[in-house]
Every structure is written in C-alpha cells, then in structure tokens.
Copies of this chain bind each other. A is one copy, B any other.
Amino acid sequence: MAEKITPRSVDYSQWYIDIILNAKLADYSPVKGSMVIRPRGYSIWERLRDELDRRFKATGHQNAYFPMFIPMSFLKKEAEHVEGFSPELAVVTHAGGEELEEPLVVRPTSETIIWHMYKSWIQSYRDLPLLYNQWANVVRWEKRTRLFLRTAEFLWQEGHTAHETKEDAIEETLRMLNVYKDFVEEYLCLPVIAGKKSESEKFAGAVDTYSIEAMMQDFKALQAGTSHFLGQNFAKAFDVQFQTRSGTLDYVWATSWGVSTRLIGAIIMTHSDDKGLVLPPTLAQEELVVIPIFKTDSKTDVLRYAQDVTSMLRDRGRRVVLDDDDTASPGWKFAEWEMRGVPIRIEAGPKDMAQGTVVMVRRDTGEKVTVKKDEIVQRADELLKAIQKNLFERAKQFRDKHTKDIADYESMKQYFSTDSAGVSDSNSGFARGLWCGSKECEAKLKADTKATIRCLPLDDQDDINGVCALCGAPAKHRAIFARAY
C-alpha cells in the first residue's frame, strides 16, 4: 500500500526498496546477496526479454546454451579476464559426493567456455560470422548488493560473436550497442547516452568497451548495457584460428555484449514516484485496471457495466484486469493499483453508468478524462501511446536538466560535493566536459569525488578544442562524468 513507501526526498535508497517489496516485484532470498524474482517482477523480465530476443533474431543472431560450470583453468587463459573476475567467483569443489580434481567456477560470464567450443566449430572463413546469444543466469559474488541492481546471481543475455575481420567485429560491437540504445529508449523509455568506456572502466579482456548510460532520479548514472570489441584476445587465448579467403591462417575477431535484470532496477528508478511503481505500458503486466464504484443498491448494475468495459478492452487484445473484490474500498484500490504501476485506471460508478461514460486516469500524470463507452478502446490505445512517449520525454528532460557543462577541476569538485540520502536539486548530476585521456586524471577525480568517467559519447566528439576539465592539459575527448551505481 502506498503509505508504506518512503518518499524520495527522505531516503532515496529506501524508496527504491519499498517499491520493490510492496509491488511484490522481488524479495530477499535466504542466501546472502541473492534475490527471488516474484511473478510481478518476472513478468517485466519476460516482456523485456521477448522483445529484445526478437530484435536479436531480426539482426541475424541465434540462441544457444553453454554449461554454467567452467574449469578454473579456462579463466586463467586470458590474463586480464581472470584478474578482473577472480575476486567475484563462486567455486564448486565437490560434486556427486567426491572432491573434484579441478574446481569448477560458476560462470561470471561465458567468454572462456564459449571460445573453447568455438575452436572446434570454426575452421574456415565459411564458418564465420558466428552470431550466438545465450539467455542465462550468472554469478558474481559481490560484497554490497541491492535488489535488481547488483545481486550475486542475476539473469542476463550474453552475445558472443566471431568474425573474419577487425572491421566486421567493430561493426558488430556498434550494431549491438545501437540495438540496445533503440530498445531501451523505445521499449523501456530510458533515455541513454551511448559511448566508449575509458581504459580503466572497460571489461576485463576487451580491447574496447562501449556502454549505454542512463540517469536515475537521484541523478546518479547507471550502466544499462555494454558491448565489447574483444579483438583477437580470446581467439589467441583459446587458439581459435581460421583459414582466410586468401588461404592463410588468422585468429578470429570477437565481440560480446550483454544486458541483465539490472534493467528492471533502472526502469523502477527512472519512472516511479512516491506513490509507487510507474511502468511503461509495454512492460506492464496489466495495461489497465477497471475499478467499479458501487453502493449495495447499485452493485449488480455497476459490476455488469464494469465487466462490459473490461470485456471490450480484452476482446481488442488489451491486458486488462477487473478489480471486483468487494472487501476493499475504491480508495484503497486506487492506491494499491497506483503502487503496482498500472498505466491506466478506469473508474466506473453509478453516475458514469447513467451517462454511458467512464473516467480514465493516467498513472504518469494523474490526468483524468471522461470517455464515452464506445470510445474506450480507441482512447485506451491513444493514452497508452501517450504514456509511453511521455515517460521517455520526461526522463530525457530530467536528465538534460541535471547535466551541466563543466570546464575546470574546482567546479567539478564543487559539483560533486553535495550529496544526501534524500533527493534534492542540490545533488550532483552528469557533468559534461573535456578530458585529456590520462588514467591519472580519472583516478584523482574518483578519489576526490567518487565520480568517474561514464563514457565518451559517440555523437558528441566534435570540436574538442580546449583543455581537460581535470588537469588543464590539451583535451582529446569529451566525457560524461558522474557518480554511478
């Protein structure tokens, strides 16, 4: 119920957890750092996954499934990779009542086992490209966890592709970055900045990492998806060579890319309010809820009217639910369904029935409109589209409002110096500024302010004539700086 939700202005982190628990999206598991995804949360994942899967297939990718257990020795074959993932591994040492000869790692990501298999599947340029994806669970044992955003086990997809040339692999890396950007913007209403990661933020084993970065309502950045150009690193580590068109042997070029259940955290944090969850219509388990409002004498007629309205919408393929529970008041139901994030509430009482109308209430703006019964299907369609559009536009305006151009280090430090548990306009957001490209600058900023370089936006690298906002040396890139989840 809505009154259980801590306001964002008081404690943003608690607000987030309150929404998840009250809307029954997820629950804590008895195993530290793990979570249970409840049906209302899993239905968001299903809708998200199915649409993304459709887009993967439309771009020529196929799904496969690789084992979750990976021999420890495989991870060690790529030096940076094992260094990056070692601290987070869960290790199976015993199985079938015996100690294993070699411990097995539960996959933190699957490059190693996949490239081991690619060795036997790739002989010639005729076998390329291999455009594979898998939907799976992975484990990264993190010390600090938070429902959806960072959990020991999470669900994700990981694409792993193999190519003839460097150019093909880079093209694929950027293609999938764009698939992600279009998908999260169109389907999840999350405006994102697509860009390249700095050296210190890239994936362990990648040549280049690209990401899409979103802003949450506490102005922090959240990395919503990554796409990696792996060069020939894994092909060399697993000795995957192929016969080229000219008859020579060469190592295969690779990419990998992934998004996870973390996206659900991003959706919650971007759109919701103090009343509870707000969901894009595309993701909502129910697009509309019909709530009949009656007294004892009008009950039968109003219920029949509400059922009519519900059937009209259902017959047209809308996901609609009738809340005819007579042990709860309409006011309680309004709050409950607002908390659950249903995009449109339809109120139908004796007066509405007499006039042949209903009242439709938007979850995103609270706007109420009176609609004639024979226009309900049409108006529902229009309103759902309007909500989808508004959620994106609203989030984009919010992000732009909290993005500031900053040119020098004193301003940068001051910008990132204001923070509190609750959200207020004095909190820092994104800083847009020039950067010289040095690791030292980046490390200093992080030490001083906890802010990092989120990415070097791909579409914002023109006119780099100026000095680094961190050290004053000649600039090479334009970057987005922010604190991040």
Using a CB–CB cutoff of 8 Å, the interface residues on chain A facing chain B are 27, 29-31, 34-39, 42-43, 45-46, 62-71, 74, 86-97, 103-104, 106, 113, 116-117, 120-121, 132, 136-137, 139, 141-143, 152-153, 155
Q: Is the CB of B39 within 8 A of A132?
A: yes
With a cutoff of 8 Å between Cβ atoms, the chain B residues found around residue A35 in the complex are 67
Q: Is the CB of B67 within 8 A of A29?
A: yes
Q: Is the CB of A67 within 8 A of B34?
A: yes
Sample 24 A-B pairs with CB under 8 A, ordered by A number. Answer: A27-B120, A27-B121, A29-B66, A29-B113, A30-B74, A34-B67, A36-B64, A36-B66, A38-B64, A42-B62, A42-B63, A42-B64, A42-B65, A68-B137, A68-B139, A69-B90, A88-B96, A89-B94, A89-B95, A90-B94, A93-B94, A94-B103, A96-B143, A106-B106
Number of copies: 2
Q: Is the CB of A91 within 8 A of B90?
A: no
What 9 additional pairs, Cβ within 8 angstroms, besides A27-B120, A89-B96? A34-B69, A36-B67, A37-B65, A38-B64, A39-B63, A67-B153, A69-B139, A89-B95, A90-B92
Q: Is the CB of A64 within 8 A of B88?
A: no
CA distance A67 to B64 in the complex (A): 22
Q: Is the CB of A65 within 8 A of B36?
A: yes
With a cutoff of 8 Å between Cβ atoms, the chain B residues found around residue A103 in the complex are 94
Q: Is the CB of B117 within 8 A of A27?
A: yes
Nearest-neighbour CB distance to chain B for A408, whole angstroms, equals 40
Q: Is the CB of A141 within 8 A of B95?
A: yes
CA distance A36 to B121 in the complex (A): 12
Q: Is the CB of B38 within 8 A of A71?
A: no
- Give the interface SS of chain A, mostly helix, strand, loop or mixed: mixed
Given contacts A63-B42, A120-B27, contact A95 B90 (CB under 8 A): yes
With a cutoff of 8 Å between Cβ atoms, the chain B residues found around residue A90 in the complex are 69, 92, 94-96, 104
With a cutoff of 8 Å between Cβ atoms, the chain B residues found around residue A155 in the complex are 65
Nearest-neighbour CB distance to chain B for A445, whole angstroms, equals 28
Q: Is the CB of B113 within 8 A of A30?
A: yes
With a cutoff of 8 Å between Cβ atoms, the chain B residues found around residue A106 in the complex are 92, 106
In this complex, the member of A65, A89, A132 whose beta carbon has the largest number of chain B beta carbons within 10 angstroms is A65
CA distance A351 to B95 in the complex (A): 62
Which chain B residue shows the least CB distance to A86?
B97
With a cutoff of 8 Å between Cβ atoms, the chain B residues found around residue A74 in the complex are 30
With a cutoff of 8 Å between Cβ atoms, the chain B residues found around residue A96 in the complex are 87-90, 141-143
With a cutoff of 8 Å between Cβ atoms, the chain B residues found around residue A121 in the complex are 27
In this complex, the member of A30, A38, A67, A94 whose beta carbon has the largest number of chain B beta carbons within 10 angstroms is A67
CA distance A136 to B42 in the complex (A): 13
Q: Is the CB of A39 within 8 A of B66?
A: no
CA distance A43 to B133 in the complex (A): 12
Q: Is the CB of B92 within 8 A of A91?
A: yes
Q: Is the CB of A69 within 8 A of B153?
A: yes
CA distance A136 to B155 in the complex (A): 10
Q: Is the CB of B64 within 8 A of A39?
A: yes
With a cutoff of 8 Å between Cβ atoms, the chain B residues found around residue A71 in the complex are 30-31
With a cutoff of 8 Å between Cβ atoms, the chain B residues found around residue A42 in the complex are 62-65
CA distance A136 to B135 in the complex (A): 10
With a cutoff of 8 Å between Cβ atoms, the chain B residues found around residue A30 in the complex are 71, 74, 113, 116
A91 contact from B43, B67, B95, B113, Cβ within 8 A: B95
With a cutoff of 8 Å between Cβ atoms, the chain B residues found around residue A94 in the complex are 89-91, 93, 103
Q: Is the CB of A69 within 8 A of B37?
A: no
Nearest-neighbour CB distance to chain B for A163, whole angstroms, equals 17
Q: Is the CB of A93 within 8 A of B91?
A: yes
Which chain B residue shows the least CB distance to A61?
B39
CA distance A38 to B64 in the complex (A): 5
Q: Is the CB of A97 within 8 A of B87?
A: yes
Which chain B residue shows the least CB distance to A93?
B93
Q: Is the CB of B69 within 8 A of A31?
A: yes
CA distance A35 to B121 in the complex (A): 15
Q: Is the CB of A31 within 8 A of B64?
A: no
Nearest-neighbour CB distance to chain B for A120, whole angstroms, equals 7
Nearest-neighbour CB distance to chain B for A118, whole angstroms, equals 11
Q: Is the CB of A117 within 8 A of B69?
A: no
